[in-house]
Structure 1
Amino acid sequence: MKIAVAGGGSWGTAMARLLSNINHEINFYIRNEMTRLDIKNNRENSKYLPGSKFSKEINLYENVEDAIKDIEILVLAVPTSAVRPLLNSIKGKLSKNVIIVNLSKGIEVESLDRISEVSEEILPDNPFVALSGPSHAEEVGNDIPTTVVVSSKDIKYANIIQNEFSTDKFRIYTNADLIGVEIGGALKNIIALAAGISDGLKFGDNTKAALMTRGMYEMSKMGLALGANPHTFNGLSGMGDLIVTCTSMHSRNRRAGILIGEGKSVEEASKEVGQIVEGIKTTKSAHMLAQKLNIEMPITEKLYEVLYEGKDPQEAVKILMTREKKEEIEQNFFQ
């Protein structure tokens, strides 16, 4: 198939390489000239995905309109905040038959919309598929076995992506719960930031396990309020992605959290990580969405205060530990 990949970061590069290796024709849209030249001359994105060489020819574009001509699938590998501007720029120029596959994991701050909702608003006639799960670009780019999930309002489009993107190193499951897949992928970044801060404060495994477990509970609560299937959060886009993002040094969110826990500002931590840390903005949008839905999400709330109101992380932890005593399971997700 003819596929355009938009976004020259690590995940876009890994996906362009993976798809080219299974003989799809790839149009790779990259805004940064140095990155385009690097891939053209060295067959590698040495800044964002060093060591992962392209073995097949791909087409490199600096103009998105040229990149999307006659394609069948458009892969979005740009930050959440860049999705709306990108889709607006191709509105009226993209065939209605093109399937949009989104790789970013976040909730738009301004609208509190999931990416599928942004896409449906701007390009309502184009099928939308979310791809999520425990999938560090660094490992996908090195052909390390990885398993993900794809979801769409119409499962036939998820099945198409499952068939076209699967390899012997990249296994794909389908899930009809688009809301749950998107919410799990977005909110796990919040918990990974918190887990990183815990590491930066030199707390231990007990603390991280508690953050991950209670974080999963917060993810499930928001998912349930939005109409998700709670079982989705036990799957790849929930528990799977949460585990890998909270425990790996490949995780930008965890690395940023460690730096914040060690005393650096949010701006300093983001700069040192060197790529977009989605969890920072997602913490803000999830905090606002929780207030809108009247959901109690204490980890998200305290992380918001640390990131946006200057609260000391040690104080935030103390407040979480001394909250009103509660039952562990306050609501039944599986009625």
Structure 2
Amino acid sequence: MEKIAIGIDLGGTTIKFAFLTRKGETVTQWAVPTPVHNKGRSIVPTIIQSIQEKMSEQSLSAEDIAAIGMGSPGSVNRSEGTVTGAYNLNWTETVHVREEIERAFGIPFELDNDANVAALGEQWLGAGQNEPHVVFLTLGTGVGGGVIVNGELVHGAHGTAGEIGHVKVEADGFHCTCGQVGCLETVASATGIVNVARKEAEQFIGESQLAQKIRNSQPVTAKSIFDQARFNDPLADNVLKKVGSYLGKTCANIANILNPSTIVLGGGVSRAGQLLLDYVTPHFERHAFPTIATRTAIRTASLENEAGVLGAASLAFALEDRVETVTQNENVNL
């Protein structure tokens, strides 16, 4: 029997799991609530118990599992297998995730940042179409990213490669959570798009339902701005042209440096689908190097909430391959 991988997508509300084959076929998939109480001390034991129960249900032993992969929020130390400062999990101190899980199962375990793992999922089984050179931007509450070159994640010297949300797009602009100003995250995340709309509304003259809502202090979201744009609201159109310019130029700069085959836009904002691409692509084509502009695909993500768990399984298979390579080299040297 071919070994399967276990993928885990750890989130602040839900922990998602999947058993996958190397072909990307799902053996089983499930989710449990994340027990964030008591400083998150029950999270890792819950992961262990849930996997043990599912392995028993599927009649699987440790010998049937290639490896376990997991994506986590917070500051991930890949070499140590630890997570620090995952505040939505109540993990304020360092949690030794790999140590606990490997002790429980005797199975190799790999850990990475949740945005990186989602990038792997989209690259393998999603909009990246298993191409080896893919860049992933997740446009959610913030803007994250993952860079894949030759089929492998790029981490950089200090593990922070792919912080695309902190590319500077304005000399001044809105203040960012990182302490800088004018970061992409402040204008292209779900929150950032609303920031742009509120600022543009201050100087907008003309008929606009969106402007009226903002001036009347009614709730406005990125989704409602896209919805208004579909009804040809002029302010919504102005806002998304500006957001599209920021994203398009950023994607062009990324493509000029890395030359990926595909740039995937994910996260909640990507649910706008073709409308988002209609605002982004013209600016990308205008600012990218000509050869790159015509040969780089920009797509919205296709896996939505499954990207993380599928990417985590991909991480597990990559770990198994590395372990096998080391073992083979050791045998050759005997």
TM-score when normalising by structure 2: 0.35
> Which structure carries more strand by proportion?
2
For the pair shown, which has the larger CA radius of gyration, 1 or 2?
2
> Which structure carries more helix by proportion?
1
